[in-house]
Amino acid sequence: MGPFAVIPGIVGLLLVLAAVTVWTFKTRVLIEGGLVTVRKPILGIPRICRVPFSQISRVRVQQEKLDGVKEKERDWEILIDRNEGNPVKLAASIRDRTEAERMAETIRQMIR
């Protein structure tokens, strides 16, 4: 059988890793001291992004871009646009646009 005997084990391991990633993936946003700190752990390894208030050009809400999903079924996300660099995603998978707008407005008020 050779290498073909190992393939089901590798696929199983990849599925377990994917499940653990989805299970542990939680974004935490902290707004204080002139900074917006976004912490996104992936498999328990934290990825931290700090954005000073002075580098924020705007806070916006947009629909997630997913291929094959109807526009009315897409979730909403909150992003921070920086003066330089890529936008930073603060929240995703928000079902209701009104809720996403309310959260974005709360963030805007906190960073003023």
Residue spans of the domains in the chain: they are 27-111
Tens of pLDDT along 38-80? 998 876 678 899 999 999 999 999 988 777 777 777 889 999 9
Burial per residue of 2-39, b for 16 or more beta-carbon CB atoms within 10 angstroms, e otherwise: eeeeeeeeeeeeeeeeeeeeeeeeeeebebeeeebebe
Tens of pLDDT along 20-41? 777 777 788 999 999 999 998 8
CATH tag, 27-111: 2.30.29
Tens of pLDDT along 76-92? 999 999 999 999 998 88
Q: Of 25, 8, 14, 4, give the one whose Cα is nearest residue 93.
A: 25
How far is residue 86 from each of residues 3, 44, 53, measured CA to CA in Å? 42, 24, 15
Q: What is the pTM of this model?
A: 0.71
Q: Of 27, 29, 28, 35, give the one whose Cα is nearest residue 111.
A: 35
Give just the sign of the alpha carbon dihedral 103, 106, 111, 112.
positive
